[in-house]
Structure 1
């Protein structure tokens, strides 16, 4: 088995057996491709089945000089998954990455916007331009529903259950969940769909997509990043923010206002409550308030 065939088999396994999304499969493949590039660059002729722990350890030492601890940890994790697959398929007896430890890294949480900063961001949208109504609807949806950027760009008109007060969201691994949507957000989506979207020349295969670009196709992740970055500059917000910042702010504001962590987990689409606990930033003042309000010995 050569590296190319092993990688193709691994990608098929991730897609069919694990049901992972295209973005996740690309990220996992990237870690293996880095190892393949290293072996080619150093003219190390060894197959995925024969490569040893020592050779992999040397690769880790080499990349450690080029990337930070977080990236290094991610690559190690990705390679462990790849070799676990080879063991699972009986290509190898053991995982050569098993004893290779990841560097210790602290938890890195994204910046959170305050409610006032969210308002400033949305107020910076130029509603005199045709895309203004669309951009406002996008930001309101990202923040009020806590969606991932991939979830908002793939949102379909048939996913909008406004009478019931929910939208259907397709998340990681094509897993679907229903998320409550605020009346204010429904209003902005309706404004866009009723007054702006009908004037866009919708292209084939995008008839059901909610948010479209000027050419009638779906928006890209990069476009959403660009929209938010430009609005942050216009609003005078100097934090490093992205679409994920709005999702993080959604969860943080819910928690600070007393929402149940399990409910937040369901709305975010996290499989494990542990992910939600790590993801949601809980400041000390909030914890103090919870103690004072709910503990019997307060």
Structure 2
């Protein structure tokens, strides 16, 4: 049985996102899940053609996301609306429909969530928990030091190749990071991360590489295959448990800490934006609220007439 027209258009749209707009595989996968649920629900109601879409149908679908037995969170609803809006705009641009039925589709307002950063002491404890001379611990040390030194996302770190480490006189000095949308940025590496990377590349990675096929990936698993994002997250969680820092550590914790500590130390927000690979400075400015909260706490404690 041939696929319905809406399903075919959905496949074309996802291909457009991946190839022409260069969105990350994770983003495309999220859109794929949301659109599959959307077109599947519409198919159950006898809606198979893009020309059948209108504002009432879309609003009814979104309302159903909130009213079901296990309603979606506001963030999930907002993401679904974003997927639908992008899809219907694509349909208009491709000439499949004359008017965008999602023009009046309102997304829920989301509370601004401040990123949680670790303190300097907590970061030190986390990094110290990776100390060791065996190849796996040396790899873990290099990975966590790199994440904190560069603010790279975990997915970006595990995608690094050995050739992305730019050295001067044999010492790692810079990292070439490929971010969202395949955008490249060059990030400097601090002395602690340089030492950890150099030790890993010289003493540990050759031993790990003997267990698998030849690969140019920077970070390798115990059997020589490229380290996965899931394994990297397990490494971070295990280090946090050994460190006993007493707070929940997420895959983004070191990235958030990198940005917050730079801004608290006086770095320009535009520089931090470039280092993080943010498309908009507004995203980076979220971290300035974190540092302002810290300044307010110090002020309240230290100024004799603050309370």
Which TM-score applies when normalising by structure 2? 0.87
Does residue 175 of structure 1 match 2:183?
yes
Question: Deviations 1:235-269 (Å, cap 9, x if unpaired)?
Answer: 22333322211101100000001000010011011
* 1:128 shift after superposition: 5.1
Query: What is the aligned partner in structure 1 of residue 13 from structure 2?
Result: 10
Provide structure 1 residue ranges, at least 5 long, that are not aligned to the other structure.
291-298
Aligned ranges 1:1-298 → 2 under 5 Å = 2-40=5-43, 42-65=44-67, 66-125=71-130, 127=132, 129-163=134-168, 165-200=173-208, 201=210, 203-204=212-213, 206=215, 208-280=216-288, 281-286=290-295
Moved over 4 A (4+): 287-290
User: Aligned with 2:111: secondary structure?
Assistant: coil
Distance 1:174 1:288 in 2: 39
TM-score between both structures, scaled by the size of structure 1: 0.90
Q: Distance in 1 between matches of 2:32 and 2:76?
A: 14
Superposition RMSD in Å: 2.1
Instruction: Flag structure 2 segments of 5+ consecutive residues without an equivalent.
Output: 300-307
What SS class does the counterpart of residue 237 from structure 1 fall into?
Answer: coil
Aligned equivalents of 1:233, 1:36: Cα separation in 2:
43
**Residue 135 of structure 2 contacts residue 207 of structure 2 at CA under 8 Å; is this kept in 1?**
no
Query: Deviation at 1:202?
Result: 5.8
Deviates more, 1:171-180 or 1:15-24: 15-24
Give the drift of 1:204: 4.0
- Residue 294 of structure 1 corresponds to which residue in structure 2? none
1:3, 1:48 within 8 Å by CA — same for their partners in 2? Answer: yes
Paired with 1:229 and 1:184, the residues of 2 have a C-alpha distance of 21
Aligned length: 288
In the aligned structure 2, how far is the partner of 1:238 from the partner of 1:93?
56
Indicate if the aligned counterparts of 1:111 and 1:239 stay in contact, CA closer than 8 A. Answer: no
Question: Shift of the alpha carbon at 1:286?
Answer: 3.3
Moved more, 163-172 or 122-131: 122-131
